[in-house]
Structure 1
Amino acid sequence: MIPGFTGGLLDRADRLRHDADALAAATSDWRARVLKLDNFEPELTAEGKLSWGSLADVPDDAELILLGLDGDRPHFAAFTPGMRAPGGRPMRLFAMLDRFANGEAATYAAARSLLDWHSRHQFCANCGTPTTMFRAGWARQCEKCSAEHFPRVDPVVIMIAEHQGRALLGRQPAWPAGRYSALAGFLEPGESMEEAVAREIFEEAGVRVSDVRYVASQPWPFPSSLMMACVATAEDDVITLDTNELEDAIWVERSVVQAVLAGEPGPFLAPPPYAIAHTLLSAWAAS
């Protein structure tokens, strides 16, 4: 099983980010491609592939971010002043997430996260001076204090507690009717992944767990998280719900999870295939 937003097909070409001459050659290569975006939303072909334009399509005030190479052909995203990612989860974008061809969503995830980071980090966190892009768009630098700023990824644990062949699933009020999924939460400073799993399950559902096992990970570019999927063993099945976090939580038998993932009707609506929660449920159901 390959989690959504993974399996990128471009060579990220880190070596070019440090080589001014090579980067200049890439940005003047007539074969170079630039990702087509409507603000932050991609244009997809009928085959689910990203659409690309030429350097001639780039506005004069835009800066190029090197996404990588396809063979030796450079691929870029263009950052224009004033770009801002829309808040929440745009319906049009989420309606197309299951249409991406293999590997295409990973390229889009990198581009979206980088563009969003640049839009929110125009000033130095150290002294407040405006920053400039460098390292082919993979960093910003302060001209006053020389501080270097790099894109950050926010680690998130997403997990299933299991007890006697059942999985603990929860739902949030904003989700589509009937949808249940794995519990999730951000890691806190000074905390391991395993400790975050145990803390989040206890905080949200009042269930104590141990024996945390890592399953898989997935970038989530809204704006820039890394979802780390895990399974943990519950000490008991008594749920004490935190209604500030969840609307409901239920225990579901493995056979029922298998049936729902296979498309059969059941007591819950499964998360979509591009979400790591779907990968996690599939791995648990098959184990």
Structure 2
Amino acid sequence: MTISPWLWPLPVLAVLALAFIYSRRKEQERHLLWKLLGYLLLGAFMLRLNGFPLPLGYALFLLLLQAKPKPNRAAKHSAAFAGLLLFFLTLALPAAEQGWLERERSYPVEAAQISQLSLQDDWERFKGEDAASSEDRLERFEFVYDRSGAVIQLNYAVNVWSGNGSYRYQVEYAPEKGHAVVQRLGRDGGGSPPDGLSAELVLERLRPEVLAELAPAPERADADRLRLEVPTMWFANGTASLDPKGFQPAFRIGHDGEVEPLPNVAEPYETTAAVVVYGCRDPELFEGCSAPAYYLF
């Protein structure tokens, strides 16, 4: 179980609170410091009822305090109240930490035109400290652009496993504003990443010169806007074996970015990734879309 670094200062705060309360005692009492520590721990004690934390310890202290008058009553009450504050801090600090880590971040990017895109470099910048010794799997990729090369919409989601934990990145480009909004969400569980589609492979291969070549065939050139998607489910178990005859028109994207047509034959083609491009009247709503063209890596 990993302890939040935001909770490490709490023992220091507890010691300082005890020292302050002890220094303001009104009466001499044997072992008072240990008693104050006990009352502080009692005040911080909680009981979870149906997952909801209850400050049971502080309630018990109030009953004990009223049952019998005690010397240094105010100091003991202060110690129990300090424990109650610690109880609330142990609940509030992890939530505040999660909110801080999962806040939306804005990064300046040049993305108004396809020729300006640098998806791989942007992705390395978005990952930040998670970039070192990390593995990623692409969950979703959607890209809308027009035939002049203007970027209309670009967003994707990536699951990342690194030494810092397991996270889900949501990336939304705002081409007209010149920035991208990135949110990193914590994921349950860690361990090794499952088989799937490498985000770095797709983002590196979709360079501007390649994107400029990805479009439906000329007979479907009536659509002003194009929609590009990555069918991640095809690669849930890693490399996929596809039959180009069932995916026509089909093309191959080489390591150097060359785009070549694949023959219309029923022979398996081993591919590590693929993109699908539609010509649509309204690609944002996925309406009026023609049959797609398939590009295999």
Name the TM-score class by shorter chain: under 0.3
Give the TM-score, by structure 2 length: 0.23
Name the structure, 1 or 2, with higher relative contact order (CA <8 Å, separation 6+). 1
Normalising by structure 1, report the TM-score.
Answer: 0.24
Computing the radius of gyration over CA atoms, which structure comes out larger, 1 or 2?
2
- The structure with the largest helix share of the pair is 2
